[in-house]
């Protein structure tokens, strides 16, 4: 397979593990990289020193490439970027901010830069900013999300039409067939969050993981739209926000309800009632917590089988 994502990131399979807050530590990142994909550390939930520690541990746990996901609105962004450069990380996925700000500097250090977008408009800005590849993430994805609410099925062809850069699909992909479906639409790789968040190596609390296994369709919802749209499990915290929104609460009032540390409380500490529980729609398809090696094998095996099966779908 002559795949631009595999070449660019020097990986076996074009499968990237999303850098998820409170899930994506060194254990998950190194396991995904060791399994032939690209593991990402989620800097969004790490203080700078913690990130450095996780980078060092990942380097010890794998000799394969890995990366760091950095939300560009991170308060200590300069410190974070300096650590990434000092520790000689080869790949940075950036999101939630302007790709122009850091791309040039990172690329000058030989780092591959990939930016996450939710529209073809921002994909074009990425191309102008000189990033190496783009992640197009749809409405079904867990956690922070675009305001356009464009689904992966609609977004991927849009972005494919708009740019020539290597393209990674994200949102709603948990299986080999899901992966192949987005590749048919023009993606050259996939970023998988939810499926990897619900693995042995994910640092999420076991209460959170077990809760996710019980989800049915409709049990997550895009919430916090007045602040920053985020896909959450519909728990007590979600309903508190929803009631306030329905009663016409302002962004400031919603922020006051959220307070600080809500996602840590929910995902890392396992408070299923008052925590902010970020996960993708596709959680409802997942019924087991397995090791990354087995999950990756399952995805790749199903993908290969789906490619083989395709002649069945030929029209006369």
Binding positions for a copy of itself, rule: CB under 8 A = 1-2, 13, 119-121, 138-140, 146-155, 157-158, 161, 171-173, 175, 177-178, 180-186, 216-218, 221-222, 246-248, 281-282, 284-285, 300, 303-304, 306-307, 310-316
To a copy of itself, the closest distance from the beta carbon of 93 in angstroms equals: 21
For a copy of itself, which is the closer residue by CB, 108 or 247?
Answer: 247
Residue 294 Cβ, how far from a copy of itself at the closest point, in Å? 17
Structure tokens at 178: 């899901």
Provide, rounded to whole angstroms, the least separation between the CB of residue 197 and a copy of itself.
15
Location of structure tokens 């800005």? 125
Which helix (H) or strand (E) segment is 231 a member of?
strand 230-233
Residue 150 or 203 with smaller CB distance to a copy of itself? 150
Helix (H, G, I), strand (E, B) or coil at 12: coil
* Least distance CB 272 / a copy of itself (angstroms): 20
The CA–CA distances, whole Å, from 168 to 59, 64, 184 equal 24, 20, 12
- Minimum distance of a copy of itself from residue 153's CB (angstroms): 4
Closest approach, Cβ 185 to a copy of itself, in A, equals 5
- Least distance (Å) from a copy of itself to the CB of residue 51? 32
Burial 45-55 (b: 16+ CB within 10 A, else e): bbebeebbebb
Q: Which is nearer to a copy of itself, 87 or 148 (CB)?
A: 148
- Nearer residue to a copy of itself within complex by CB, 226 or 264: 226
Q: What tokens appear for 38 in the block?
A: 């690209």
Tell me whether residue 57 or residue 177 sits nearer to a copy of itself (CB atom): 177
Q: How far is the CB of 121 from a copy of itself (least distance, A)?
A: 7
Which residue is associated with the tokens 């790789």?
A: 189
How far apart (Å, rounded) are the C-alpha atoms in residues 61 and 173?
A: 26
Q: Are the CB atoms for 164 and 131 separated by under 8 Å?
A: no
Q: What is the rounded (10 degree) CA torsion for 100, 38, 90, 135?
A: -10
Residue with smaller CB distance to a copy of itself, 140 or 276: 140
For a copy of itself, the closer CB: 211 or 231: 231
Taking the least distance from each CB to a copy of itself, the nearer of 79 and 154 is 154
Which CB contacts under 8 angstroms, 24+ apart, belong to 260-268?
262/237, 263/21, 263/22, 263/45, 264/22, 264/45, 266/208, 266/235, 266/237, 267/21, 267/22, 267/23, 267/204, 267/205, 267/208, 268/22, 268/45, 268/203, 268/204, 268/205, 268/208
Minimum distance between the CB of residue 225 and a copy of itself, rounded to whole angstroms?
10
Cβ 66 vs Cβ 88: under 8 Å: no
> Nearer to a copy of itself by C-beta: 27 or 64?
64
């Amino acid at each position: 397979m002559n795949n631009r994502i595999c070449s660019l990131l020097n990986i076996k399979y074009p499968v990237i593990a999303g850098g998820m807050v409170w899930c994506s530590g060194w254990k998950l990142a190194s396991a995904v990289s060791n399994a032939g994909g690209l593991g990402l550390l989620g800097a969004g939930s790490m203080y700078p020193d913690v990130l450095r520690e996780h980078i060092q541990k990942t380097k010890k746990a794998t000799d394969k490439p890995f990366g760091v996901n950095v939300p560009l609105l991170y308060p200590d962004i300069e410190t974070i970027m300096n650590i990434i450069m000092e520790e000689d990380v080869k790949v940075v996925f950036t999101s939630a901010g302007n790709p122009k700000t850091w791309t040039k500097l990172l690329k000058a250090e030989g780092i591959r830069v990939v930016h996450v977008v939710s529209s073809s408009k921002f994909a074009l800005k990425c191309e102008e900013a000189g990033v190496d590849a783009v992640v197009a993430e749809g409405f079904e994805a867990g956690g922070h999300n675009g305001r356009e609410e464009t689904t992966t099925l609609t977004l991927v062809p849009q972005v494919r039409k708009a740019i020539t850069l290597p393209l990674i699909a994200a949102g709603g992909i948990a299986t080999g067939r899901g992966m192949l479906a987005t590749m048919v639409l023009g993606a050259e790789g996939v970023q998988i969050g939810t499926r990897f968040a619900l693995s042995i190596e994910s640092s999420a609390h076991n209460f959170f993981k077990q809760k996710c296994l019980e989800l049915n369709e409709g049990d997550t919802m895009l919430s916090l739209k007045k602040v920053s749209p985020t896909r959450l499990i519909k728990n007590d915290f979600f309903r508190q926000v929803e009631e306030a929104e329905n009663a016409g609460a302002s962004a400031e009032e919603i922020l006051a309800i959220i307070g600080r540390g809500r996602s840590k409380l929910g995902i890392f500490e396992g408070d299923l009632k008052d925590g902010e529980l970020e996960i993708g729609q596709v959680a409802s398809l997942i019924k087991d917590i397995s090791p990354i090696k087995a999950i990756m094998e399952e995805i790749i095996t199903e993908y290969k089988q789906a490619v083989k099966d395709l002649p069945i779908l030929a029209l006369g």
